[in-house]
């Protein structure tokens, strides 16, 4: 049985399939007209790096042939370029803050026909019901969503989330789902390097099923990186420097070059690879965590293509990183190229520099709006249950001796002793608070944050990777408390307080991580809130949403804050437990 969900509507060898295959063969032989022919195209051939001139014949959602073709319907492209549909190699839908179905038309409008998605955000908040919600919503979308099942829920043993622990046994019933492509990013590096049985079981189950195993290896190098690869992990999207990128390629990883909202790694990674004359055949583009307002303003994989070409990458090589390379990596048969038998996922562009999109076809059909999404169950809606606390309680919990230092356009943070900073530096720091939100422990912690620069208020979120407890930052404990309390009232999302008053809210009441609204509505609300945050001092190098949401993820160096306290990622211990 194939896992590739062909456009024949079924994967069984029945009469319907045979009839459809017969029609395609007859169309390829020109014994019958194609359903659709795209005439006068310049076709990017990712197998030979050529630009071919001709027609593209489509039948039954597949490409029947290329050359001189005739169809029942014909569209003259007038010499425009045709590319395979783009594939985002690693995406967290939840970071867009909308559902798979709401995100689908947006991604398609930017040429993304397929996305490999990791639902570990909703899985941490809501467990298996959250994953099933994503699969159901994806099934009603025009997009071809594929999913990797979360490997690290929670991301650390001490993390308190809504779902508890997801084991290999929990996920095994989902392995046969046709949208499941692999095991999601293996974040629990110590579990791999120590061959912890629970992690070994997950790796073995997915390897035996022939599925891809995704990596997540920030700052890992040398023998530790090699041991991680030897465990069967196949890719990584956490390289920040060209040296890290080259080391991953040398060790046999497929390199995912990330360009998201909080982490923008394309320029240093691809620029370094080009300067070193490295082959790009094992490189793919991904967006990882990109907010809906940034997607609407910039694009996704099309944005990566423009940046890549501007850095001097040959256009066809860039196209291969957006199409063929991820298709090969994830065993997506009959995707990622324009050739007979391949799915007719096509992107028509005016040129190979700006990649301005003229039209998008998904299985040979122009993109259309999706149908209504699945109902949200109560199990996904009521997830914010906070402890009783006051502004004074937060102030008394403040840890003053260590500071979290932000790095522009990166998820990496600096572990700064307060004694190393000047009085002015310390005075410019924000307060940051992490609070458990599932009504399990009621824990919270407060620290100092350098580089956020929000003045005269506070920003609070229930979207805090990966456990999605509350994370908030500001310069007043009163405003912090007000913002956090408002989050409970709206069942999760983002809240901005300015000078003691609620200035803006963005409700995310599906698990506290996604909105039930359409993409444009969410984007407009996010942009308004971002503008207010900029007006309150947050600098251009810091994305207020993405930066805040990653401050509590205890698997990215150097220092994070969780409801249990400040956590040294390199030493893997809490600072107040030295």
Tokens encoding 318: 């860039």
**Predicted pLDDT of residue 540:** 83
Using DSSP's 3-state secondary structure scheme, residue 160 falls into: coil
CB 373 within 8 A of CB 103: no
CB 330 within 8 A of CB 117: no
On the question of a cis peptide bond just before residue 466, with omega within 30 degrees of 0, the verdict is: yes
- Is it the case that residue 6 has pLDDT exceeding 90? no
- Is it the case that residue 25 has pLDDT exceeding 80? yes
Mean pLDDT of 391-414: 93
First to last CA, the chain: 54
Half-sphere exposure of 343 (CA within 13 A, CB side): 27
In whole angstroms, give the CA distance from residue 542 to residue 262. Answer: 8
Mean pLDDT of 446-462: 97
Split at pLDDT 50, 70, 90, the class of 379 is confident
Query: pTM for the full model?
Result: 0.92
pLDDT tens sequence across 129-152: 999 999 999 999 999 999 999 999
In whole angstroms, give the CA distance from residue 33 to residue 72. Answer: 6
In whole angstroms, give the CA distance from residue 244 to residue 256. Answer: 12
- Is it the case that residue 559 has pLDDT exceeding 70? yes
- Is it the case that residue 32 has pLDDT exceeding 90? yes
- Is it the case that residue 543 has pLDDT exceeding 80? yes
- Is it the case that residue 181 has pLDDT exceeding 90? yes
Split at pLDDT 50, 70, 90, the class of 371 is low
In whole angstroms, give the CA distance from residue 427 to residue 448. Answer: 10
Pairing of strands 357-362, 365-366: antiparallel
CB 500 within 8 A of CB 482: yes
**Predicted pLDDT of residue 372:** 58
Instruction: For the chain, give the percent of residues with pLDDT over 70.
Output: 95
Interacting residues of 55 by C-beta distance below 8 A, sequence separation 6+: 37, 38, 39, 40, 41, 66, 67, 68, 69
- Is it the case that residue 225 has pLDDT exceeding 80? yes
Minimum mean pLDDT among 365-369, 413-417, 510-514: which range? 365-369
In whole angstroms, give the CA distance from residue 491 to residue 85. Answer: 37
Strand stretches in 129-219, DSSP E: 144-149, 180-186, 212-215
Q: What is the dihedral of CA 154, 155, 156, 160, to 10 degrees?
A: -40
Q: What is the DSSP letter of 288?
A: B
- Is it the case that residue 397 has pLDDT exceeding 60? yes
Q: What is the DSSP letter of 576?
A: G
Split at pLDDT 50, 70, 90, the class of 576 is confident
The angle, 0 to 180 degrees and rounded to 10, between the axes of the packed helices 100-109 and 519-535 is: 80
**Predicted pLDDT of residue 3:** 43
3-state secondary structure 431-466: EEEEECCECCCCCEEEEEEECCCCCCEEEEECCCCC
**Structural domains in the chain, sorted by start:** 86-329 (3.20.20.140), 378-577 (no CATH)
Mean pLDDT of 495-515: 97
Q: The dihedral of CA 282, 288, 294, 300: what is its sign?
A: positive
Sheet with strand 86-91: strands edge to edge: 86-91, 112-117, 144-149, 180-186, 212-215
- Is it the case that residue 1 has pLDDT exceeding 50? no
The CA–CA distances, whole Å, from 107 to 114, 248, 521 equal 9, 29, 16
Q: Max alpha carbon distance in the chain (Å)?
A: 81
Using DSSP's 3-state secondary structure scheme, residue 193 falls into: helix
- Is it the case that residue 175 has pLDDT exceeding 60? yes
> Which of 222, 134, 131 has the alpha carbon at shortest distance from 172?
131
Split at pLDDT 50, 70, 90, the class of 368 is confident
**Predicted pLDDT of residue 17:** 57
**Predicted pLDDT of residue 377:** 72
**Predicted pLDDT of residue 367:** 86
- Is it the case that residue 484 has pLDDT exceeding 80? yes
The CA–CA distances, whole Å, from 177 to 150, 171, 180, 182, 301 equal 14, 11, 6, 11, 26
**Predicted pLDDT of residue 4:** 43
Q: What is the DSSP letter of 158?
A: T
**Predicted pLDDT of residue 541:** 79
Q: pLDDT averaged over the chain? A: 93
Mean pLDDT of 28-32: 94
Minimum mean pLDDT among 274-283, 387-396, 406-415: which range? 406-415
């Amino acid at each position: 049985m194939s896992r590739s969900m062909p456009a024949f509507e079924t994967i069984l060898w029945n009469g319907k399939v045979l009839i459809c295959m017969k029609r395609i063969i007859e169309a390829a032989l020109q014994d019958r007209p194609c359903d659709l022919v795209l005439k006068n195209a310049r076709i990017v051939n990712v197998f030979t790096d050529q630009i071919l001139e001709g027609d593209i014949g489509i039948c039954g959602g597949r490409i029947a042939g290329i050359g001189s073709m005739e169809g029942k319907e014909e569209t003259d492209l007038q010499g425009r370029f045709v590319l395979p549909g783009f594939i985002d190699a690693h995406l967290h839908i939840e970071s867009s803050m909308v559902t798979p179905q709401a995100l689908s038309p947006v991604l398609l409008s930017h040429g993304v026909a397929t996305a490999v998605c990791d639902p570990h955000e909703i899985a941490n908040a809501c467990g298996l019901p959250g994953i099933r919600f994503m699969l159901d919503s994806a099934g009603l979308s025009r997009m071809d969503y594929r999913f990797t099942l979360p490997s690290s829920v929670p991301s650390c043993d001490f993390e308190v989330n809504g779902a508890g622990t997801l084991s290999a046994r929990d996920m095994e019933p989902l392995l046969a789902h046709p949208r499941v492509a692999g095991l999601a990013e293996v974040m629990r590096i110590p579990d791999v390097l120590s061959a912890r049985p629970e992690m070994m079981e997950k790796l073995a189950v997915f390897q035996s099923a022939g599925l891809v195993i995704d990596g997540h290896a920030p700052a890992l190098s040398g023998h530790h990186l090699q041991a991680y690869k030897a465990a069967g992990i196949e890719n990584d999207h956490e390289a920040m420097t060209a040296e890290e990128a080259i080391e991953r390629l040398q060790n046999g990883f497929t390199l995912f070059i990330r360009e998201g909202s909080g982490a923008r790694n394309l320029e240093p990674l691809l620029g370094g690879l080009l300067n070193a004359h490295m082959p790009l055949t094992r490189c793919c583009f991904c967006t990882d965590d990109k907010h809906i307002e940034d997607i609407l303003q910039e694009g996704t994989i099309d944005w990566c293509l423009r940046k890549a070409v501007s850095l001097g990458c040959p256009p066809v090589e860039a196209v291969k990183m957006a199409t063929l390379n991820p298709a090969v990596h994830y065993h997506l048969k009959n995707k990622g190229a324009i050739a007979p038998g391949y799915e007719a996922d096509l992107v028509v562009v005016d040129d190979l520099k700006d990649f301005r999109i003229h039209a998008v076809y998904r299985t040979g059909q122009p993109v259309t709006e999706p149908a209504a999404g699945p109902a949200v169950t109560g199990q996904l809606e009521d997830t914010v249950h906070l402890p009783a606390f006051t502004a004074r309680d937060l102030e008394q919990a403040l840890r003053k001796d260590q500071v979290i230092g932000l790095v522009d356009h990166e998820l990496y943070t600096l572990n700064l002793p307060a004694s190393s900073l000047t009085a002015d530096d310390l005075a410019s720091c924000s307060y940051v608070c992490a609070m458990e939100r599932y009504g399990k422990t009621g824990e919270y912690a407060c620290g100092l944050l350098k580089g956020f620069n929000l003045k005269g208020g506070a920003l609070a979120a229930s979207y805090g990777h990966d456990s999605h407890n509350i994370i908030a930052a500001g310069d007043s404990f009163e405003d912090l408390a007000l913002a956090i309390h408002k989050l409970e009232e709206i069942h999760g999302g983002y809240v901005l307080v300015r000078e003691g008053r609620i200035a803006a809210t963005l409700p995310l009441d599906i698990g506290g991580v996604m909105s039930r609204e359409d993409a444009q509505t969410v984007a407009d609300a996010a942009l308004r809130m971002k503008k207010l945050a900029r007006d309150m001092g947050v600098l251009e190098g810091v994305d207020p949403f993405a930066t805040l949401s990653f401050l509590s993820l205890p698997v990215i160096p150097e220092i994070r804050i969780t409801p249990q306290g400040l956590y040294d990622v390199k030493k893997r211990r809490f600072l107040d437990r030295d």
